[in-house]
Structure 1
Amino acid sequence: MEKVLIWFCGTGTTKQDFLANVEISGFSAIVAIDGIGTAAMLTKTQALAKRANWGGSFVDMSETLGVLYDQVNGYDDRAGVVTLDSLFPLVDYLKTLKEYQLVVGGHSRGAAVGLTEFLAELYHLAVQNQAPGVWANAKTIRLVVVDPVQGQQDADKDTNAFNAILKDKTLAQILAELETKWFGGREVFDTLVYSARYDARSSFAFDSRWYRFITEQMGKQAGPAKRAKLVMAGFRHSAPVSKEDEISALYQGKGVAPIAFLQQLVSFDPNWEQSARLLSQIENGYLDQLAAGAKTDLISQLDKQTSLLSTALPALSAANRCKKRCRRITRKNRNTAGSTAISTGRRRFNASYQVTSD
């Protein structure tokens, strides 16, 4: 069966960056959409329309300033239109397929905004009683939602302001109603939320819409949310998609690593749950050592590369934070699926839900 991938890149990440870091194979079609805060996206949004405010028009006089402005402020309506317009050529291709497996994934703002807006647009069409068209031929739609950090988009805490995303509809409701209206109740959506295990930056918290999905809907509400899973790997926000942030030395000879794990999730590898548990064992072991003050080369590298200093912010080492918090990360249901409370150094999920990594 043909496999098709749609990927929404994170802030400052081009489709070339993504494909260079995460090797994707086995797909008949791949559409990777440039992230906000890239020259590629800026060129497309400028061609569509000028910014609505004077300050935005001023920064667009320089590509460098325009890119930086977008990295700080995130998606605007123009970027939303460009993102969705990028999918039209794919729709023409899907018309040629009788059946296919679809993966829709994204990282950071690409997950929090791009992927979410895509789902909301499908929902918007469904509630207007429009036919599903080519989407009806999807046997499975796997959502791979990687660290959906929204970055305080325009001072908002979530994605409610974006096109077709209704304030009174949760993600669980959107997915459930799509399955009912477009797929006759068939279990189509397979949702995997992939969180970085740790990031020292408090501003890199989950988008509140996805946070509520994890803590209030996942494993509890009927439909796709009941089947959804949370997995965790990596010690930096971009570890699942960036070789630079993966800290690959930690995983050398282990048979698993955050990027390779993402490849498994995207490619429908049936062994992904085994890899999730192994990553949990490996990373929780490092956190135990870090909390205990171990002085090995690997622990020193982990401490250095997870400190705020490594992100060009005032220094606050992961060791100092972990001495207070790592014990809570590692002591409960660390290797098996089940009900747990997870503290990650930047955010905490206090709820009962199914996880496969801790």
Structure 2
Amino acid sequence: MFFKKTVIDEDTRLQYAREIDSLIGQDRSKEAHAKTKELEKLDKDAAGYFMSYFYYMGEVERENPREALKRIEGYIKRVPNDGNAYLMLGNIQQYFDDDEKSAAAYEKAVELGNTTALTLLAGIYYIHANEFRNQAAGTINPMQYADYNGKAISLYIRCLELYNKAFQANKKRMEDTDWQAYGRSADMMYIMSLNGELKKISKADLNRVNALSIGASVISGKANVQEQLYWRNQAVAVTAQMEEAGFGAMAEYFRASFCLYDCSKKKQEMLLNAKYHMDRAKELSASLNAEQKKSYPSDFNDVLQMYDKMNRQLGKAMQNRLRGGELPQLALDYLSDRVPGIEENRTFADYLARVKSGEVITEQKASNTGKKKGLFGKFF
């Protein structure tokens, strides 16, 4: 004899969910668990979300990820349009190191309006974009290069979209690691456009949901100037969001990086901009929290090394330009309503005064090669 599962009405289910959620929020786990077991007697699958939580977190119940997975899957069949449930499913799949399934769950959570899943999904895609980029750098087979690099491009674009949505939803929720991945994604798209590695990306491509297995087509050859400007403007917009969210020092390192990418013997003036941003990053570092002070500036050692290289090559020319009255063209690197004045950067203003007085300044090496190297160092 088969027993049919009992199913309570939606209003009752929601009332239980609110009460249990409130108890968990008050750290009254035992009471929340008791209420969940009460719900389970009425409708087992309706209680699946909270039972999954208890098994996954190891609260009241002994930690059991497999049981947590079973319960959340049962709940999703019962309540298929709950974004929080797909967030939970994605977290559990991460426990089992299944990025494909975790990303699919987070994608569904995002589709259903769960904003917490935005950065979690972007984080998965960012890691895989870097892996594909490294695989592209490690092959001499043109077909494999196009495949790996195409997947990396597709995922970097998706990261930019997801992090931007996360910023719009709640910029304070984004952490240091989120901002670094966001900035690196923008930087990578710009440097690849300079290298002529991208096809022209249409608006439809930017809004496309990209799975880990999907890549954009790539081309080789002469870079497209319009395309370069598009991706540089994207990087400028990302650094403006960083600064708005309180990550000003990080924003300056990224501004320095894309100025350094622009810098060459034919475009020596961009070293002026890079110098300004490096000095401003130092000044803003005073406001870093304790954790950031442990890792900055080594997190951006790749940028420091690029600056050292260009400064060795063009440092004297930069000082000659400053003596001649040339100043950084900061409007290139900030949104039009946020361009700082030269005098706001006291370190750079002091450097400028010393150079104009005729002093020849030899800067100390900016990079710290004894510390970890940034992601750029892996690629270039």
Say whether the fold is shared (TM-score over 0.5): no
Greater relative CO, 1 or 2 (CA 8 Å, sep 6+): 1
> Who wins on radius of gyration, i.e. which is larger?
2
TM-score for both structures, normalised by structure 1: 0.29
Which has the larger strand fraction? 1
Q: TM-score, normalised by structure 2?
A: 0.28
